[in-house]
Copies of this chain bind each other. A is one copy, B any other.
Amino acid sequence: MEDWQEITGGVTAARGYRAAGITAGLKPSGLPDLALILSDVDAIAAGVFTTSHVKAACVDYCRQRLQAKHSARAILCNAGQANAATGSQGVKDTLESADLLAKELGISPEAILLASTGVIGQRIKMDILRSGIPKVVAALSETGSDAAAGAIITTDLVKKSIALETTIGDASGGLRQRPVRIGGIAKGSGMIHPNMATMLAFVTCDAAVSSSLWQQMLTRAADRSFNSITVDGDTSTNDSLIALANGQSRTPAITEMGPEAEKLEAMLTAVCQHLAKAIARDGEGATCLVEVQVSGANDETAARQIAKTIAGSSLVKSAIFGRDPNWGRIAGAAGRAGVPFEQDNLQIKLGDFLLFENGQPLPFDKAAASAYLKQAAAGAYLQKDTVLISVSVGNGHGTGKAWGCDLSYDYVKINAEYTT
């Protein structure tokens, strides 16, 4: 199924995209804080946004833009001020940002999408943004993805970026096979400073795809990636996932589901999962990535619900931090996920260790299982060392995954010790 390869280039790996990231001066730290992604031509645009009822002006703005028009040219993202809970002035600032960038690029403001991350309740520093926009436009380049990835992060420890390539166009059908690329950058690591929030991901693709299909693919991919990670269960006011597809690969247009569409969606999902896992692994104070795989449920939604409940359980998370192969907490979390199953069908594995079967605990080598947890945490960032929890709840065909991290002293320290 994975007939793609990883390539370099992030959001500028796909044809027809440029990007930039600069230090405009929005962050007090003096670190990069303004990013721009531009497609050379109008791109099909899809988005998935926070479901919170307290949300930033840019989220409402993007939703409205994408409802009116399923295409865009540019994504502008500022870091430093979230422009959430800023009332009508926040809305005006959003509109002015789009107008300023449109003028600078010589395009319509309707072709611009916006994202913000930073302190909730603070308006964007518009004076600084006004002088920053010409600079970020001037900095646009075909190798600008890394700079953009660095300008959207806030409390993240690392930049998050990926690009994959496959081929589209069936030789047997007389169409020439051509490469198609999808790249993405993301930010997010839970919330460190007070009111500092947000998960953002921007994805670029050079396939030609219909707007409704692209949105459907993105929604499903988001469910299987960003919506399946949990650092502390808190959803932000600014969470946004935006994906562009500009057709510059010159591959045949994909307008309905079929083998080519499935291939494209699988690669889009892989890009989103890579970024989502990078966010989970960068969770505040995390020492390891935890992957929970659930099988035997009635459907994918049920399986994912169980997986997310286990990955999000404070008790499971602190047991993993303590290197404790604690099947009881995993069983407890599975049981309270709101998905009915027969207790006697429950099976729990930790790595290769079978801990629980037919609804009852099994004897296992606790020292070896604890050692498995220890070596996972010893792995370097984004190494293969991941704690794997596998749970089966019955004979259904539904499978689902979720990702999280352990709960450490540092999570509490980071989130408690910064006082106003």
- Residue positions of A touching B, CB distance < 8 A: 50-55, 85-87, 119-121, 191, 194-195, 197, 232-237, 312-315, 318-319, 321-329, 331-337, 339-341, 343-344, 346, 356, 358-361, 366, 370, 407-409, 411-413, 415-420
B416 touches A332 (CB 8 A): no
A282 to chain B, nearest CB (A): 16
Q: Which 4 pairs from chain A and chain B are nearest by CB?
A: A54-B335, A195-B328, A322-B416, A52-B335
* Set of chain B residues within 8 Å of A54, measured between Cβ atoms: 331-332, 334-336, 343, 346, 359
Query: Which B residue's beta carbon lies closest to that of A121?
Result: B361
* Set of chain B residues within 8 Å of A356, measured between Cβ atoms: 85
If A234-B315, A336-B235, A412-B412 touch, whether A325 touches B420 (CB-CB below 8 Å) is yes
If A53-B343, A323-B419 touch, whether A233 touches B332 (CB-CB below 8 Å) is no
CB < 8 Å neighbour of A420 from B335, B341, B370: B370
| Docked CA distance A351–B415 (Å) | 21
A87 touches B321 (CB 8 A): no
* Set of chain B residues within 8 Å of A340, measured between Cβ atoms: 53
16 A-B pairs within 8 Å (CB atoms) are namely A52-B332, A53-B336, A53-B339, A120-B328, A194-B319, A194-B324, A195-B328, A195-B329, A233-B314, A237-B332, A318-B411, A322-B416, A322-B418, A370-B420, A409-B409, A409-B413
Given A191-B315, A237-B332, A370-B420; 8 other pairs, CB 8 A cutoff: A53-B334, A54-B359, A234-B314, A237-B331, A322-B415, A324-B416, A407-B412, A409-B412
A284 to chain B, nearest CB (A): 10
Count the copies.
2
* Set of chain B residues within 8 Å of A237, measured between Cβ atoms: 331-332, 335
If A85-B343, A194-B324, A356-B85 touch, whether A236 touches B332 (CB-CB below 8 Å) is yes
| Docked CA distance A411–B407 (Å) | 10
* Set of chain B residues within 8 Å of A318, measured between Cβ atoms: 411-412, 415-416
| Docked CA distance A150–B379 (Å) | 45
| Docked CA distance A314–B337 (Å) | 18
CB < 8 Å neighbour of A55 from B313, B319, B343, B418: B343
If A237-B332, A358-B87, A412-B318 touch, whether A194 touches B326 (CB-CB below 8 Å) is yes
* Set of chain B residues within 8 Å of A333, measured between Cβ atoms: 234
* Set of chain B residues within 8 Å of A325, measured between Cβ atoms: 420
A408 touches B415 (CB 8 A): no
A407 to chain B, nearest CB (A): 6
A354 to chain B, nearest CB (A): 14
| Docked CA distance A159–B143 (Å) | 65
| Docked CA distance A322–B170 (Å) | 59
B314 touches A232 (CB 8 A): yes
A298 to chain B, nearest CB (A): 13
| Docked CA distance A143–B26 (Å) | 68
* Set of chain B residues within 8 Å of A359, measured between Cβ atoms: 54, 85, 87
* Set of chain B residues within 8 Å of A234, measured between Cβ atoms: 313-315, 329, 332-333, 336
A377 to chain B, nearest CB (A): 12
A415 touches B315 (CB 8 A): yes
